Structure formats: structure tokens, C-alpha cells
């Protein structure tokens, strides 16, 4: 059995920037909505989940801003043209009977981490021999590399590489090939190299190659600092000078797995997307091609929407 968790904000932002301006005949801007729903349908077809849920960020500051005022401080405010579409996305997702999880003070990453942890011990179905349950397999859909820290034998990351026509599934082997460290070391790695997109620097002068080399030998950030006397003088000096930043970066990069989000696997059971509520909303939004995909019917699709589908494939959502 399979649970798919979608990083809502990551997908929504990419959809907004990938799909050119698209409005209904009433003037409602809906490019991000179109891209998001198209993505959701592709993921459903690709991964064939038995359970599905979406996690979103909330607009209020998170605990990470309380720890470090510079966290994501350089990021511009969300474009109003994007923020105005969020509630419409929520509406469509709810009509599809897909549960949404979000909580003030936490990022979607923390909800994804919590749900993945809680769900891994879920036992569903039974084998043909009769009786022994199967572990739930979990796929997290995102373009955010921080999520790679959650990968293990039961959790994989589905990361689109070009639109959603091309994607790569990251298991333990693929994470190590990509970053040079195991999934369980991703936070230690971030502690050393930082993350410019989130505004924390790690250790100045320590790049990806050096970080992966140190972690291959000493396994954790803590062990690296316990063995400074064994390192080349220049590297050791950089680590000494950047220790406070390294430990802060480690803290900021760590995805929480204990958010009180009250996840229910039962509520995430896939239901029929082809229902009157969904059809009504897609008609209202004038998403004729998406309506066709849900109903399986072949009706006319406007030239403008055909063009946006082409852009979705060519520009990519990630």
C-alpha cells in the first residue's frame, strides 16, 4: 500500500512561475491553480497511491524565525497574484476529498516529517499467505532537497526534474549518489555547507566536497567537531571559527517529526476525483482539459489552455 504526501507550497510556487498568466473569462487569475491541479493528477497517475494528503505552509512566522531572525529574511513577500490563488487551490483539493494539513509556527516540511514518521508504523493489508501485514510505502512529492533527510527504506522522495513528464525517485542509494552523504547525514551536511536559499551559511569556506568527505569519515557534525585535532590545520581553523554557525544551521535544517497535526491514514484514503463537486469547480475555472482528464471524456479544449499545457511540460514545474 502506498501513501503520497505533497509539499503544497513547493508545488504551488513552481506552478505559478512555470505557467504563464492564465485568467478565466471573468478575469480571475488561475495559472497556479491550473498547474497545481495538473500536477496532482499526474502524480496520482504516476504513483498510483492508495492514500493522499497535502501539506501547506502558513503565512505566520515559524519557530525557525524565532531561533534565527535571518532565516528566509531575504526572500521577497509572496506575490499577491500567487497568494490570491491559494484559497482556490485549497477549495479544489478539499472537493477531491484530499486532506490538507497546515499549522501556525511550522513549515510544511515539519508536517511532512511528522506524518511520514507516524505513518511508517502503520500496517495495512495482508499478504496472500494470510495474516502478516505489509508496511506502508511513503512517497513525498517535492522539489526541496531538505526533504531528502527523511528518506529511508520505507520513505522515498519523488522529485520532478522536467515538468512532471520526467521525475526521479530518490531512495537511500540515490540520495548518497546526489549529495555524497546518506539521508541520515543530510542535516549534518547542511550544518557544514548551509543553505543560501534559507539564509543560513553553515561554515564559511567549507563546501559540498569537503563536507561530504568529512561526514564519510566521521559520520556526524558532532563527531567532526570531536576530531578537529586530526584534521588539516586550515580546515580545522574554519570549523572552529564557524562552530556556532554550524550548530545553528544544523538546528534550522532539522525537520521536526513531532508536530501535533492529528494525521489520519483513514481520512487520506483516495476517493473518486470524478465527483460533481470537482466537476462543478473545474467548469467554473474553465479548466476543460483537466475536466477531460478526470471524467475521461473528450470535449473541446480552448487554444489558450492547450498552450498552457505545452508550457507546463516545456518549462517544468520544478
DSSP secondary structure, 201-250, as one string:
--STT--HHHHHHHHHHH-SHHHHHHTGGGS-HHHHHHHHHTHHHHHHHH
**Residue 127 CB coordination number (10 Å):** 9
* Alpha-carbon distances, residue 101 vs 16, 158, 290 (angstroms): 21, 19, 24
* Selection from 31, 111, 117, 44 nearest residue 79 by Cα: 31
Rounded distance, CA 284 to CA 185, Å?
47
Least confident range from 60-64, 99-103, 166-170: namely: 166-170
pLDDT band at 21 (very low <50, low <70, confident <90, very high): confident
Strand blocks (E) in 67-206: 100-101, 123-124, 134-135, 137-141, 155-162, 166-170
Q: What is the pLDDT of residue 124?
A: 60
Mean of pLDDT values over 175-199: 94
Domain segments of the chain as ranges? 2-174+256-315, 179-253
Alpha carbons within 13 angstroms on the beta-carbon side of residue 135 total 11
The total number of residues shown for the chain amounts to 318
Q: 179-253, what's its fold?
A: DNA polymerase; domain 1 (1.10.150)
CA quadruple 318, 107, 172, 182: dihedral positive or negative? positive
For 30, residues 6+ apart whose C-beta sits below 8 A from its C-beta are 22, 23, 24, 85, 88, 285, 286, 287
Mean of pLDDT values over 188-194: 97
**Residue 116 CB coordination number (10 Å):** 24
| 2-174+256-315 placed in CATH 3.40.50.2300 | no
Give me the residues paired with residue 7 across strands. Answer: 55
Do residues 30 and 12 lie in contact, with contact meaning Cβ atoms separated by under 8 Å?
A: no
Tell me, what DSSP letter sits at residue 104?
A: T
What pTM was computed for the model? 0.88
* Alpha-carbon distances, residue 47 vs 4, 11, 40, 169, 254 (angstroms): 8, 16, 11, 10, 27
For the stretch 250-289, pLDDT in tens is 999 999 999 998 899 999 999 888 899 999 999 999 999 9
Amino acid at each position: 500500500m502506498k501513501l503520497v504526501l505533497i509539499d503544497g507550497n513547493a508545488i504551488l510556487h513552481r506552478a505559478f512561475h512555470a505557467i504563464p498568466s492564465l485568467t478565466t473569462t471573468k478575469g480571475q487569475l488561475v495559472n497556479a491553480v491550473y498547474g497545481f491541479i495538473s500536477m496532482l493528477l499526474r502524480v496520482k497517475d504516476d504513483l498510483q497511491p492508495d492514500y493522499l494528503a497535502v501539506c501547506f505552509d502558513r503565512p505566520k512566522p515559524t519557530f525557525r524565525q524565532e531561533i534565527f531572525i535571518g532565516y528566509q529574511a531575504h526572500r521577497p513577500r509572496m506575490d499577491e497574484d500567487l497568494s490570491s490563488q491559494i484559497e482556490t487551490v485549497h477549495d479544489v483539493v478539499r472537493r477531491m476529498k484530499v486532506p490538507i494539513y497546515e499549522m501556525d509556527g511550522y513549515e510544511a516540511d515539519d508536517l511532512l516529517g511528522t506524518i511520514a514518521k507516524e505513518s511508517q508504523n502503520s500496517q495495512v493489508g495482508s499478504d496472500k499467505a494470510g495474516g502478516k501485514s505489509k508496511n506502508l510505502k511513503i512517497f513525498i512529492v517535492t522539489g526541496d532537497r531538505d526533504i531528502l533527510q527523511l528518506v529511508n527504506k520505507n520513505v522515498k522522495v519523488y522529485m520532478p526534474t522536467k515538468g512532471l513528464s520526467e521525475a526521479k525517485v530518490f531512495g537511500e542509494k540515490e540520495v548518497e549518489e546526489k549529495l555524497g552523504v546518506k539521508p541520515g547525514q543530510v542535516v549534518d551536511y547542511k550544518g557544514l555547507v548551509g543553505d543560501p536559499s534559507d539564509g543560513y551559511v553553515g561554515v564559511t569556506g567549507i563546501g559540498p566536497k569537503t563536507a561530504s568527505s568529512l561526514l564519510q569519515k566521521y559520520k556526524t557534525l558532532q563527531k567532526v567537531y570531536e576530531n578537529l585535532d586530526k584534521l588539516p590545520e586550515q580546515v580545522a581553523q574554519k570549523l572552529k571559527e564557524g562552530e556556532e554557525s554550524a550548530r545553528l544551521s544544523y538546528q534550522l535544517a532539522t525537520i521536526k517529526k513531532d508536530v501535533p497535526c492529528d494525521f489520519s491514514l483513514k481520512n487520506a484514503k483516495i476517493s473518486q476525483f470524478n465527483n460533481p463537486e470537482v466537476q462543478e469547480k473545474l467548469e467554473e475555472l474553465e479548466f476543460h482539459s483537466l475536466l477531460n482528464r478526470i471524467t475521461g471524456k473528450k470535449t473541446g479544449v480552448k487554444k489558450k489552455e492547450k498552450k498552457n499545457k505545452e508550457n507546463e511540460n516545456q518549462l517544468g514545474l520544478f
